[in-house]
Amino acid sequence: MRSCYPTPVYSHAGRGSFQDVYDPAEDSFLLIDALEKDAERLLHMSCTDVNPAAAQCTARTASCNRVSLQPVITDLVESLLPRLCGKVDVLLFNPPYVVTPSEEVGSRGIEAAWAGGERGREVTDRFLPLVAQLLSSEGLCYLITIAENNPEEIMGLLRQNGLEGESCLSTRAGNERLSVLRFHRNQQT
């Protein structure tokens, strides 16, 4: 029987000093649903964000929910390499996946939460080569995508790096078809 966890307290997000932080939405809650079954693996987590306000908001959310967490402000995992190589048991990535002009990618503000550039994949495509480097032998990676990101192609790219993937949860949110892709090392390689 699966445990159900309460929705985290996040009422401060998008308000006051965190007004430039993207409010949790359907993609965030879909990711939470996908993670519940692996909750025991999530006991010790680090997190990163390119947006300093989002990192501070994450720290406040963790505190409100009695979780110890110290976000690192960095682009993807840049400041954590190479010391995390092969040591990550659970890797969560809710990238900016909305199809936008390429000029909108690279902001450190709230736009960084959604501006995915061409095919909504510019940030995701920078991240994909890091997944196989970061995951431990038993590690799992969860990635949020929309149909325009071509999830099948993403799974194919990671398969070339020795990872197997599947869509473990999907939903429709407005005109978006959201999916959580889950990857693990191919044990036959």
Tell me the DSSP string of the chain.
----PPPPP-TTTTSGGGTTSPPP-HHHHHHHHHHGGGGGGGSS---EES-HHHHHHHHHHHHHTT-----EESSTTGGGTTTTTT-EEEEEE----B---GGGTT-SSGGGGTB--GGG-HHHHHHHHHHHHHEEEEEEEEEEEEGGG-HHHHHHHHHTTTEEEEEEEEEEETTEEEEEEEEEE-TT-
The C-alpha angle with vertex 151 and arms to 149 and 152, in degrees rounded to 5, equals: 130
Confidence (pLDDT) at 138: 92
Domain range list for the chain: 16-185
Residues 152-167, mean pLDDT to the nearest whole number: 96
Cβ(30)–Cβ(178) below 8 Å: yes
Residues 35-40, mean pLDDT to the nearest whole number: 77
pLDDT digits (tens, 9 = 90+) for 16-29: 889 888 888 999 99
Confidence (pLDDT) at 112: 86
pLDDT over threshold 70, residue 103: yes
Confidence (pLDDT) at 41: 66
* Chain mean position to CA 119: 17
Residues 163-174, mean pLDDT to the nearest whole number: 94
45: left (phi over 0), alpha (psi -120 to 50) or beta: beta
pLDDT digits (tens, 9 = 90+) for 108-120: 778 889 999 999 9
Cβ(144)–Cβ(100) below 8 Å: no
Residues 106-134, mean pLDDT to the nearest whole number: 93
Cβ(139)–Cβ(88) below 8 Å: yes
Q: What is the mean pLDDT of the chain?
A: 90
Cβ(112)–Cβ(93) below 8 Å: no
Q: How confident is the model at residue 40 (pLDDT cuts 50, 70, 90)?
A: confident
**Domain with residues 16-185, CATH architecture:** 3-Layer(aba) Sandwich (3.40)
pLDDT over threshold 50, residue 73: yes
Confidence (pLDDT) at 1: 38
Give the C-alpha separation, 169 to 133, whole Å: 25
Q: What's the pTM value of the predicted model, to 2 decimals? A: 0.87
Confidence (pLDDT) at 188: 67
Confidence (pLDDT) at 107: 83
